[in-house]
Amino acid sequence: MAIIRDLGRREYETVWRAMSHYTDSRDADSPDEIWCVEHDPVFTQGQAGKAEHLLNTGDIPVVQVDRGGQVTYHGPGQLVVYPLLDLRRTKIGVRDLVTALENATVEMLASYGIEAAPRADAPGVYLTEGPRAGNKIASIGLRVRRGCSFHGIAINIDMDLAPFLRINPCGYAGMQMVQMAELIAPVPSWSEVAEVFVGALMRALSLDTAEWHPVDETIFARARAEQEQETTNG
């Protein structure tokens, strides 16, 4: 069984620290969790990130993080999903998890009449039909530590895409981004898309049950306190 949590809108670094703490402190009996969140505007630079892909970040903060991949943007109107899974217990590999995230996105988008697919040469999900074919609608970046996954996938629903022009998304110059709001009307709510996506992800991972639980604020309070302490000492 997986526990699903709707975190609402939260600042990126606190959530990153919280999922790191959860990953480091969990044991063989800890439940798998899937966190759905909407972030305040932020650029995140993965372990493979290069400074030349940050073109003009302006007033949007840049956070260097420990996931795979290069630079991306998170902001309001985007669904970000973090699968915190014990990969050994679920008996899936990292590539399997990437495939599951991609397939779940394709299934969710298809339910709204949007045709999309992954690409063999670059993780993520891209439109396959219409004048925007080839545009990217979802980005993936993962990390595995102690056999457990964290970080995840970001799906563009109804957001300001302009900040993507300040970077080379995922390290690709000229990569065109797209969102659901440009493709369908009316635009489904963030909560609806989250629910549809999580259901598709459960099927893609062959997980039988999932329960939506309230947010456990303890781990986020700890993350905020740590962040504030580092700022004070900095």
Decide: residue 122, CB within 10 A, 0-12 exposed, 13-18 middle, 19+ buried.
middle
Phi then psi for 2, rounded to 5 degrees? -115, 140
Element (H, E) at 208: none
Alpha carbons within 13 angstroms on the beta-carbon side of residue 83 total: 33
Helix residue ranges, H only, 26-114: 87-90, 94-111
For residue 196 the two structure tokens come to 């549809």
Q: Is 170 a catalytic residue?
A: yes
Catalytic residue among 170, 183, 194, 198: 170
Q: How far apart are CA 104 and CA 19, in angstroms?
A: 22
Q: Residue-wise over 148-175: b if at least 16 C-beta within 10 A, else e?
A: bbbbbbbbbbbbebebbebbbbbbeeeb
- List CB contacts of 211: < 8 A, sequence separation 6 or more: 1, 2, 3, 4
35: closest CA among 20, 47, 50?
20
* Tokens 């300040």, located at residue: 166
Residues with catalytic roles: 170
